[in-house]
Amino acid sequence: MTTTLYQRLGGAKGIAAIVDDVMTAHLNNPAVKARFENIEDMDHAKKMACDFFCAGTGGPETYTGKDMLTAHKGMNISEQEYLAVMDDTVAAMEKNGVNEDAKNDVIATLYSLKDQIIRV
Amino acid sequence: MTTTLYQRLGGAKGIAAIVDDVMTAHLNNPAVKARFENIEDMDHAKKMACDFFCAGTGGPETYTGKDMLTAHKGMNISEQEYLAVMDDTVAAMEKNGVNEDAKNDVIATLYSLKDQIIRV
Amino acid sequence: MTTTLYQRLGGAKGIAAIVDDVMTAHLNNPAVKARFENIEDMDHAKKMACDFFCAGTGGPETYTGKDMLTAHKGMNISEQEYLAVMDDTVAAMEKNGVNEDAKNDVIATLYSLKDQIIRV
Amino acid sequence: MTTTLYQRLGGAKGIAAIVDDVMTAHLNNPAVKARFENIEDMDHAKKMACDFFCAGTGGPETYTGKDMLTAHKGMNISEQEYLAVMDDTVAAMEKNGVNEDAKNDVIATLYSLKDQIIRV
């Protein structure tokens, strides 16, 4: 039986810890902090990020938020911002002990979403 | 008696024509079109831009919109976007026959507002 | 016996075909064409790219060029340029029939080199 | 008799002081330091910058360097880098007591050179 990426990331609990660290990092990253400081309901934003991550990696959770294109529409996100988010995510995975293979799968997945995020 | 920049830009009518051309250009400029396509009430946005421009150049109009910092808060505007707006504004002034001196005054004014616009 | 990434990319011949397509794409990509048009000896640049790629993916070739940090020193490469190179590389792999897994390994590898490339 | 911009910037001596401060600032500005750290002959770079500035503002000096387009060819300079140079220049003028009008003339001039600098 194959292990899902969800399991390799530590399931819902592991993913929640990663998302927490990512959001903290974003609030301190000059490339994106202006966006994230402006979020009114951070708990909701974190829940959406967790659900998206969980559902997209093979977990039983359901993501009820907007699709990626709609979620980023009109924000005119730059390559610099996109990579800042990638970097903070990779650092959070490393901090939480995610192994190399799982990390690379997440990197490739985030890369595959790029055109639904940048300048849409 | 000195001529105001407002007068040199053609007053409210001249400024409205410039703002019209600027907005059309933004909607066709890959660097910023995602932001401007997303504006729900374009007539209101144009009126705000006209009032801001008029009031700031010595006209009798009153600007009732947000100050620049508040208006751009959380948008995380990049240098590329800022210069795209500058370029479209300069092109619109040239199209509308604004002379070199008035054009340069607008450029310097837009430059002076930069830190209330980029990544705030 | 495990297959190397080198083999999965089609060995030296497969990698040379990818590098050829990447360079052609760069010369047509507005984000980086100014850099690549300026290369005086394109054959040498391609050979270096092939050797680097081959040696780094498990091939028998030797890379005799500069390390990545030295190679990019002083160029002040931006996130936009870095992602343009990534995009052209991914598109070239897809054009040359590289499978998903190998493609993702290359993406993760290019990502791991990012801090030796951007703004160094 | 009209005063030239050259005179309003303090002539060759005033301009040399500004260029000195600009170069020091560039070496400390994360957006461009990688480019300027890489300059082998900084004295020559400063002399070229002074001559360009002097000749372009109405001084008797001759600029023997490359035209702006040729000088920046292949560097793929970004909007972020261009504005960093503008900012450091404006700050150096302010530090050296250049008045508002002269400062704005320099800003407009640097803006007019933009398309010979960015991504050429």
How far is residue A85's CA from residue C82's CA, in Å, rounded to a whole number? 15
Whether D55 is covered by a domain: the verdict is: yes
Q: Please answer yes or no on whether C35 and D80 come within 8 Å at the CB atom.
A: no
Q: Which 37-66 residues of chain D touch chain C by CB within 8 A? A: 37-38
Q: Please answer yes or no on whether A34 and B81 come within 8 Å at the CB atom.
A: no
Contact A64, A47 (CB under 8 A): no
Query: Residues of D with CB below 8 A from B118's CB?
Result: 83
Tokens of C37: 């048009």
Contact D75, D115 (CB under 8 A): no
Contact B83, D114 (CB under 8 A): yes
Of A83, A104, A114, the CB nearest to C104: A104
Q: Please answer yes or no on whether A37 and B74 come within 8 Å at the CB atom.
A: yes
For chains C and D, CB pairs below 8 A equal 33
Whether C2 is covered by a domain: the verdict is: no
C1: confidence class by pLDDT, cuts 50, 70, 90: low
Contact C36, C77 (CB under 8 A): no
Tokens of A109: 């997945």
What average pLDDT does chain D have?
A: 97
pLDDT digits (tens, 9 = 90+) for A35-63: 999 999 999 999 999 999 999 999 999 99
Contact A69, A116 (CB under 8 A): yes
pLDDT digits (tens, 9 = 90+) for B18-73: 999 999 999 999 999 999 999 999 999 999 999 999 999 999 999 999 999 999 99
Under the phi-then-psi rule, with left for phi > 0, alpha for psi from -120 to 50, and beta for the rest, what region is C119? left
A107 and chain C: CB distance < 8 Å anywhere?
yes
B1: confidence class by pLDDT, cuts 50, 70, 90: low
Cβ-Cβ contacts under 8 Å for C3 (sequence gap 6 or more): none
Whether C3 is covered by a domain: the verdict is: no
The long-range contacts involving B68-71, CB below 8 angstroms and separated by at least 24 positions, are: B68/B113, B68/B116, B68/B117, B69/B116, B69/B120
Q: Please answer yes or no on whether A34 and B80 come within 8 Å at the CB atom.
A: no
Of A35, A119, A120, the CB nearest to B76: A35
DSSP C66-91: --HHHHHTTS-B-HHHHHHHHHHHHH
Residue D50: strand, helix, or coil: helix
Cβ-Cβ contacts under 8 Å for B84 (sequence gap 6 or more): B26, B29, B31, B32
Write the CATH number for B94.
1.10.490.10
The ipTM is: 0.94
State how far residue A79 is from chain C, nearest Cα, in angstroms: 5
pLDDT digits (tens, 9 = 90+) for C53-86: 999 999 999 999 999 999 999 999 999 999 999 9
Whether B58 is covered by a domain: the verdict is: yes
Whether D105 is covered by a domain: the verdict is: yes
Whether D1 is covered by a domain: the verdict is: no
Residue A77 is classified by DSSP as B
Whether A54 is covered by a domain: the verdict is: yes
Residue C118 β-bridge partners: C77
Which value, in Å, is the radius of gyration of the alpha carbons in chain C?
Answer: 14
Instruction: Look at residue A1 and tell me whether its pLDDT is greater than 90.
Output: no
Q: Please answer yes or no on whether D38 and C120 come within 8 Å at the CB atom.
A: no
Segment A20-49 mean pLDDT: 97
**Chains with 3 or more CB pairs under 8 A to chain B:** A, D
Query: Residues of C with CB below 8 A from D32's CB?
Result: 76
Residue A24: strand, helix, or coil: helix
Percent of chain A predicted with pLDDT > 90: 98
- Residue in B with minimal Cα distance to A118: B34
pLDDT at position B46, please?
Answer: 98
What average pLDDT does chain A have?
A: 97
Instruction: Look at residue A21 and tell me whether its pLDDT is greater than 80.
Output: yes
Residue D106: strand, helix, or coil: helix
pLDDT at position A2, please?
Answer: 82
pLDDT at position A9, please?
Answer: 98
Burial label, C11 (beta-carbon count in 10 A; 0-12, 13-18, 19+): middle
**Chains with 3 or more CB pairs under 8 A to chain A:** B, C
pLDDT digits (tens, 9 = 90+) for B36-49: 999 999 999 999 99
Under the phi-then-psi rule, with left for phi > 0, alpha for psi from -120 to 50, and beta for the rest, what region is A67? beta
H/E stretch holding D58: none
Instruction: Look at residue D14 and tell me whether its pLDDT is greater than 70.
Output: yes
pTM for the model: 0.95
Whether A5 is covered by a domain: the verdict is: no
Structural domain range at position D82: 10-116
Query: Residues of C with CB below 8 A from D30's CB?
Result: 119
B2: confidence class by pLDDT, cuts 50, 70, 90: confident
Q: Total structural domains in chain A?
A: 1
Phi, psi of D77 (to 5 degrees): -70, 135
What average pLDDT does chain C have?
A: 97
